[in-house]
Amino acid sequence: MTDLKPIFSECNSEPLYIAGPCSAESREQILSSAHDISAMGISIFRAGVWKPRTKPGSFEGIGKEALEWLREAKERYGLKVVTEIATPEHLEEALKSGIDGVWIGARTTTNPFATQQIADALRGVDIAVMLKNPVIPDVDLWVGAIERIYNSGIRRLAAIHRGFGTQQTTPYRNAPHWSVPIELHRRLPELTILSDPSHIGGRRDLIAQLSQQALDIGFEGLMIECHPTPECALSDAAQQITPAELAELIATLQWRRTPVGRDALSEYRLHIDTIDSRIIELLSERMDIARAIGDYKHAHNMAVVQQDRYNELLLAAEARAEAMRLSPKFISQIFSAIHEESVRQQLEKHK
Ligand code: PEP
Ligand code: MN
């Protein structure tokens, strides 16, 4: 994909910011946020018009009527306006209203049939297209969706990392799995990759940290949800920030001009850092379970250490280690340390 172009060559600020509410809710809300966002010097405005919601009956967007508000925001404030599309019909409506760019949401990128239909409808159209990562952390599925859109002739193309659905306990709404966008960058080095800390975090207080992490990793920009009154938002209320908070965030973010991911050593290091944070998350999850076991044993008047169980655990870990090119001694040391901590935590419960 060496012939890719910037999504908006007129807006090639570094980093690139796209901001705006999760959903377009009213003309006033759109014009007020568009005003504030353009006053900050951000030139790409987002708002969802058709909203993919998990449960029926939630606010599913205003629909095409809201496209007129986006057109007005674009004309008044000289913004580029972008919205989410999930079907060829959405694309057609969005194009009629002079939209500058579209993104394909995580649920749609997950479905190759849906992505292909949009790709077919994009043939011959010159528009910026951004693909959010699929809901599952499958880099092939993401690359496949990007290729479908590329093959339709779109060259103003970018990817947006918005995290991945997970059943594990993490502080995030969608687990970042940074190694997935890093692998995407390794495979498609010319592709612009942005990060969406709002959907990764799912909570306002996580956005600053996730944004800085993304910039440190070498993402070229951020898509951030911003609403005039976030607590009253009709969708994603917990993760949106006010224009004033966005301005403050942008002022504190550091843009280091040595993005990681551009040379192999930094990429390896970043991959290691990602794995290390996963190890810590997993250990914390394991300790949560150990504490629950501690409660159970306490309630049933059982001893904390069951020697047979511990021996079994160590033997199984050593056997697995050997099969995976790890030294059994090394694994046995790690598991003794983990077990010791787990026993210590269970004993606390018995105090
Ligand atoms: C959004 O950007 O508001 C949205 C619904 O995104 P995602 O597809 O990442 O959930
Ligand atoms: Mn949203």
Ligand 1 atom showing the smallest separation from residue 236 Cα: 3
Among the residue ranges 58-67, 224-233, 266-275, the one predicted with the least confidence is 266-275
Please give the average per-residue pLDDT across 194-217, as a whole number: 95
Q: What is the token pair recorded at 107?
A: 């649920």
Structural domains in the chain, CATH included, are: 16-252 (3.20.20.70), 264-349 (1.20.59.10)
pLDDT at position 346 over 80: yes
pLDDT at position 260 over 60: no
At 228, is the secondary structure helix, strand, or coil? coil
Q: What is the token pair recorded at 286?
A: 């394991």
Please give the average per-residue pLDDT across 166-187, as a whole number: 89
pLDDT band at 166 (very low <50, low <70, confident <90, very high): confident
pLDDT at position 351 over 70: no
* Burial class of residue 231, CB neighbours in 10 A (0-12, 13-18, 19+): exposed
CA-nearest residue for atom 10, ligand 1, is 106
What distance in angstroms lies between residue 226's CA and the mean position of ligand 1's atoms? 13
Please give the average per-residue pLDDT across 203-209, as a whole number: 96
What would the pLDDT profile of 77-135 be if each residue is shown by its tens digit? 999 999 999 999 999 999 999 999 999 999 999 999 999 999 999 999 999 999 999 99
pLDDT band at 262 (very low <50, low <70, confident <90, very high): low
| pLDDT above 90 coverage of the chain, percent | 73
What distance in angstroms lies between residue 52's CA and the mean position of ligand 1's atoms? 8
Please give the average per-residue pLDDT across 220-229, as a whole number: 97
Q: Tell whether ligand 1 has an atom less than 6 A from the beta carbon of residue 22.
A: yes
Q: Tell whether ligand 1 has an atom less than 6 A from the beta carbon of residue 48.
A: yes
| pLDDT above 70 coverage of the chain, percent | 96
What would the pLDDT profile of 280-315 be if each residue is shown by its tens digit? 989 999 999 999 998 998 899 888 887 888 889 899
Please give the average per-residue pLDDT across 168-188, as a whole number: 90
pLDDT band at 62 (very low <50, low <70, confident <90, very high): very high
pLDDT at position 349 over 70: no
Question: In this predicted structure, what is the pLDDT of residue 170?
Answer: 82
pLDDT at position 147 over 60: yes
pLDDT band at 259 (very low <50, low <70, confident <90, very high): low
Is the sign of the CA dihedral 181, 184, 190, 196 positive or negative? negative
Q: Tell whether ligand 1 has an atom less than 6 A from the beta carbon of residue 156.
A: no
pLDDT at position 173 over 70: yes
pLDDT at position 242 over 70: yes
Please give the average per-residue pLDDT across 22-31, as a whole number: 98
Question: In this predicted structure, what is the pLDDT of residue 179?
Answer: 86
Single-letter residue type at 299: A
Q: How far apart are CA 316 and CA 332, in angstroms?
A: 10
What would the pLDDT profile of 110-120 be if each residue is shown by its tens digit? 999 999 999 99
**Cis upstream peptide for 15 (omega within 30°):** yes
Please give the average per-residue pLDDT across 210-236, as a whole number: 95
Question: In this predicted structure, what is the pLDDT of residue 33?
Answer: 98
pLDDT band at 257 (very low <50, low <70, confident <90, very high): low
51, 162, 226, 241: which to mutate for ligand 1, most atoms within 8 A of CB?
A: 162
CA-nearest residue for atom 8, ligand 1, is 105
pLDDT at position 264 over 80: no
Q: Which ligand is nearest to the CA of 162?
A: 1
What distance in angstroms lies between residue 265's CA and the mean position of ligand 2's atoms? 35
Q: Are strands 128-132 and 192-195 parallel, antiparallel or unpaired?
A: unpaired
What distance in angstroms lies between residue 84's CA and the mean position of ligand 1's atoms? 8
Please give the average per-residue pLDDT across 38-43, as a whole number: 96
Question: In this predicted structure, what is the pLDDT of residue 302?
Answer: 87
Please give the average per-residue pLDDT across 141-156, as a whole number: 98
Ligand 1 atom showing the smallest separation from residue 198 Cα: 2
Question: In this predicted structure, what is the pLDDT of residue 347?
Answer: 83
pLDDT at position 168 over 80: no
Ligand 1 atom showing the smallest separation from residue 108 Cα: 8
Question: In this predicted structure, what is the pLDDT of residue 258?
Answer: 59
160: Cβ–Cβ under 8 A, 6 or more apart, which residues? 103, 130, 131, 132, 133, 193, 194, 195, 196, 223
CA-nearest residue for atom 4, ligand 1, is 105
